Amino acid sequence: MHVFKTNKDLIYFLENERIKGNKIGFVPTMGALHPGHMALIRNALKDNDISVCSIFVNPTQFNNEEDLKKYPRKVEEDLGKLEHEGCQVVYLPEDHELYDDPSMLRTTINFGGIENILEGRYRPGHLKGVGLIVAKLFNIVKPHNAYFGQKDIQQFYLIRQLIHDLSYDIRLHCIPTQREEDGLAMSSRNRRIPPEYRPVASKFYECLLECKQLLKDGQDVEGIISFANDYLSGFFPLRLEYIALVGTEDFSLLNRKMDSGQQALCIAGYIDNIRIIDNVLLN
């Protein structure tokens, strides 16, 4: 497994692979890898000749300095997992390889309406930061295929828009959410859940499934918001931030389930002070 810490060395290596005619698959991560990430890596290995995984905790997508400081960093453990899985290339840059000074950025990407709802509304600047770092990484890696998880579904549709609008020649893949045995969506932040609260963490997923059925039975979104608030209030210390239904074609908010077109029911909230997001597809 090759580990590169500079843009120059990585670009040189991958350019030689492209000259050989090898197809490159890319999985961008912020580390603290779990089986959900490994599912992305396995898909990249299956579809491509060379799989590249980046590990970089991107400061520009955090709107909470404390959250950035507490984000788990397990580099040696991550490298061991990637090598065991068979990943051929890891990009492990220092901050200065991607940003001279993150506080002095002059370039931003405006994604329109998608960045003003759900994660964009509750985490101002987050989606702009995601879009900018992914654009940088795409320019460095130049992959043929890129892999993102369904758990961060709004991020997936943001990247889809990025690829379309900036004319990247990249095929985007959405890999289904990987879950713990009790249904909790796998996430790097799950490591921070105190053991005494872990048994109730799965209630976010249970709430999603209940609300999905209510939508299928004809309930509108206003009704499921009320239900979700009541349901989660019964499990200390869970707190709902939002639950919303979106049409995945343009990621627009919907008032009720539509008979045609794919839709996603998205949820976000907190267990103690740890943020949880999840979603399920309807059609």
Please identify every residue annotated as catalytic: 37
Q: Which is nearest to 210 in space by CA: 185, 227, 226?
A: 227
| Token pair recorded at residue 76 | 């040696």
CB-based contact 219:210 (threshold 8 Å):
no
CB-based contact 41:50 (threshold 8 Å):
no
Which helix (H) or strand (E) segment holds residue 204: the answer is helix 203-216
Q: Which is nearest to 54 in space by CA: 167, 140, 126?
A: 140
CB-based contact 228:206 (threshold 8 Å):
no
β-pairing, 238-247 vs 171-175, is unpaired
CB-based contact 168:162 (threshold 8 Å):
yes
